[in-house]
Amino acid sequence: MGTAIAIGIIQGIAEWLPISSEGLVSVVYRASHDLALPEAIYSSLWLHMGTVPCVLIIFRRELKGMLVDFSDLRTKPSPLLFFLTISTLISIPIGLCVLLFIQELSSLIKLGTITLIGSLTILNGVMRFRKHGNNARDRRNLSVIDAVWAGIAQGVSVLPGLSRSGTTIAVLLSRSINHKEALVISYLMSVPSSLAVSFFVTVNYGVSFSHEVIASLVFAFFVGTLTIKVMLSFSERVNFSWFSIALGIAMVIGVWSNPIHNLL
């Protein structure tokens, strides 16, 4: 039971940070349950069901507004709803394809991709200093291109070692999206993709609802709710440039210290 609780805590903390919750949880699953790497990855992906309710609760007003917008066919969809629809339609097929070839693709990614993304995110922050201002866009100014790039990033981030939140936030920042908005958008993006991946894992590999699994889900939910609030509070207090630099540094450090790469 102690291992199950630890897994839930790791998922709850890492899900909203620019480090790979999937990678960390997969390592713990493999070590504690003697699973093959793909099975450990599938188990860690299903555990996202513990953190999806965090988004539903924290962003209930945004979600309610989008539901009202979606139900009213007489009005044009809001930029945020349009963005989430396009990015989801792009990310889910890519993510499912990655899952089908997880072993082969994992050996190709290694450390280079996320290191490059992190380095470019740091550069983005430095360039912001030179512009002497924020001038970042918000959810009212989202474009199709924003949705396409964010959707691709989220789909590819199913690979172990790649941080879903870190990768999507980095892409949104590179598109000059306000850093607080980038967090909110990234977290909202996680809901449909996490549900789709969890459904895929359940249908193809099944899920055992043991006491340990339930404990992991419960702790992932409570810790994840606290962590997401901390991240949102942090983003409000930090300058855009410093936020981007801190995100990039965390991504680089996180991937190089992630033990999942020793198993690929």
Domain ranges of the chain: 2-262
Length of the chain: 264
Closest to 19 measured CA to CA, from 219, 157, 197, 171 = 157
Q: What is the residue type of 167? A: T
**pLDDT: which is higher, 92 or 249:** 92
Q: What percent of the chain has pLDDT over 90?
A: 19
- Predicted pLDDT of residue 241: 65
Average pLDDT over residues 75-87: 87
- Predicted pLDDT of residue 109: 55
Q: Report residue 42's pLDDT band, with 50, 70 and 90 as the boundaries.
A: confident
Beta-bridged to residue 137, according to DSSP, are: 177
- Predicted pLDDT of residue 243: 67
DSSP 23-34: HHHHHHHHHHH-
- Predicted pLDDT of residue 57: 93
Q: By the 8 A CB rule, do 15 and 231 touch?
A: no
pLDDT higher than threshold 90 for residue 87: yes
- Predicted pLDDT of residue 112: 57
d(CA 236, CA 225): 17
> CB under 8 Å to 145, separation ≥6 — which residues?
175
Segment 129-143, tens digit of pLDDT? 655 445 578 888 899
